Structure 1
């Protein structure tokens, strides 16, 4: 795809922004997220696709389309937030992450043209930022089914595209230390993830152990709870000190080297059992009970409390329903599955 043609907001008939999103410099971008439309296959075509997304996102109280771009099955790219505006696609990643929604739903098969267009956007994003952006599905940023099994497998496979030649790796420094071109995959050892993007106290523990053994030169600010390229490069130095080379010294831990570094492997945190779902009758107009407060507090904790003016309370309100609906949509649900009224599965996921 030599020419990256993007249909502008004006061309597809976008409404004026309902409050202009904040600007984000390209230097702040380090991730590229892939999304899908939800649980239902998409039958709309052409400009009707971004217009339908816009209507839904405005209904969420957003400024307009929350993705940076939308790609349809014909491989047409529609502008959303574009290159310079903050998205509304994944809480906690709307500044660092650029995003594309491929307009499929459920188990719908994306076309080769759609995948090639999305991959071309990714390569252009890497070119403009001067760095290799981390390829991610929506579920890598928050608990959700998005972007569905098919697209997530495609992302994990490296976003290959038939008939499209990916651009060369631009290299360049990445936020958090380190540089592009190092290993970017994860392994699970003792129930915990290690490698690029892994998070937790166990990652900090590995970083501190590396520093203690003299393998911390790639850290700019010291080890932290999120595995970065700097962790990978420091771990590779440690592996080479043990006599490993080639792919055996790519900076991603194996159990043998990790035990040698730490002595005892960290144990995964204990998981708590979600409280039992009390029943739908507690969440409807006129309801006033402790379960509504419990629900609201958990919504706020998970980052879905934007509609509360004064915080959650025991009386069920439209703001409770809107916040629940936002959480449900983040799971990849739509229509009646995202109506804002909690059921057993919404409750389980919210308290997991």
Structure 2
């Protein structure tokens, strides 16, 4: 049984603005990344905390990858299956980004490759399609994921005779067994759901399933630990909403959980938009931090396809094109879609 170490378990900070949700039906690519030019020497949860600190410093909401795999074969949750990534401009919605935590000419371990391959197979199963295998450099001009990993991706991501670590997150509580029962976790508004998740919010989800008439698999409870019976009952609930296939695997998503509970617990009040810095900060020849902030937010919102590098502080035609794409996508801005952000564009972009 392969498990994914949740954000709550490795100690993630609350999202600095929750990333947008992405439906599994929108996923078409699987991107492999590495950490950069230097060897990774950290181990365990320290790997994730270092990545988180770097990505928060970039102005992102938190870890930009969907998952990170370490050399021991442990799989850590970043954005998970259902949140938009921040790993490759233009591919953050269509692509699931996974970092293998190595750098430079560091050799990836067999366990790491096997775990990454397992994630790929799981992504294909959940989306119901064969995702295109890509290295980061296939989406943007970069050396990532390095020579060794890129060669592995181009070879088809073989895992040899190795299997992923059977339980990289440590032992989890039992439940009725079954190979077809999904056993992974997701984090929604800072609360973890799925096999092994613990807390009063798990009990409340189970009680809501009982109230809604989806409790036939319970023999006791529901209780504060998510087991296979919770998964099966939740799967029945998902199917009642019209979900099927990989979308009805019994692990909550934001949309179905909202339908069950009426509201999402743990909801964080969004931060107000930063003050508009003024139109004089944008346009040809401009170079300032506001342009970087603008570009990063465009990427977060899924409007970064024209970037081939960056975004950065120097205004480029890619900034203009991405702003214009955002403006054209919003009816209130489309009439003045000149690619230069004004107060209305700025407010809507950061809302």
TM-score by length of 1: 0.50
Of structures 1 and 2, the one scoring higher in RCO (CA 8 A, sep 6+) is 2
Question: Any unmatched runs of 5+ in structure 1?
Answer: 167-306, 333-337, 343-352
**Residues 195-230 of structure 1, C-alpha deviation per residue, up to 9 Å, x if partnerless?**
xxxxxxxxxxxxxxxxxxxxxxxxxxxxxxxxxxxx
Q: Displacement, 1:314?
A: 4.0
Distance change in 2, residues 1:317/1:44 (3 Å) = same
- Aligned counterpart, 1:10: 8
Structure with larger Rg: 1
Residues in 2 aligned to 1:118 and 1:112: alpha-carbon distance in whole angstroms: 10
CA contact (8 A) 1:37 1:103 kept: yes
Give the corresponding residue for 1:83.
81
Q: Which residue of 2 aligns with 1:132?
A: 130
**Structure 1 69/308 Cα, relative in aligned 2: closer, same or farther at 3 Å?**
farther
Does residue 117 of structure 2 align to residue 119 of structure 1? Answer: yes
1:116-155 per-residue CA deviation (whole Å, 9 max, x = no partner) reads: 0000000000111111100000011111111001000000
Contact 1:312–1:320 (Cα < 8 Å) also in 2: no
Per the alignment, do residues 76 and 308 of structure 1 end up closer, same or farther by CA in structure 2, a change over 3 Å counting?
farther
Structure 1 residue 163 displacement after superposition = 2.4
How many positions carry a matched residue from both structures? 195
Matches within 5 A, 1:1-352: 3-164=1-162, 310=279, 311-312=282-283, 314=285, 316-319=287-290
TM-score, reference length from structure 2: 0.50
Q: Distance in 2 between matches of 1:47 and 1:81?
A: 16
State the 1:315 CA deviation: 5.6
CA RMSD of aligned residues (A): 3.2
Q: Give the secondary-structure state (helix, strand or coil) at the position aligned to 1:78.
A: strand
Aligned partners of 1:20 and 1:63 also within 8 Å? yes
Distance of 1:124 and 1:136 partners within structure 2: 16
Runs of 4+, deviation exceeding 2 Å: 162-166, 307-310, 312-327
Say if 1:68 and 1:87, in contact at 8 Å, map to a contact too: yes
Using the alignment, how far apart are the partners of 1:21 and 1:153 within structure 2? Answer: 31
**1:100-130 C-alpha deviation (Å, 9 max, x unpaired):** 1000011111000000000000000011111
Structure 2 gaps, min length 5: 165-275, 315-351
Q: What is the CA distance between 1:5 and its match in structure 2?
A: 1.1
Q: Aligned pair in 2 of structure 1 residues 341, 88: CA closer, same or farther (>3 Å)?
A: closer
Deviation readout 1:301-322 (Å, 9 max, x if unpaired)? xxxxxx9974245464344677
Q: Does the aligned pair in 2 maintain the 1:71–1:102 contact within 8 Å?
A: yes
> Aligned with 1:6: secondary structure?
coil
- Mapped contact 1:74–1:114 kept (Cα < 8 A): yes
1:22, 1:86 within 8 Å by CA — same for their partners in 2?
Answer: yes
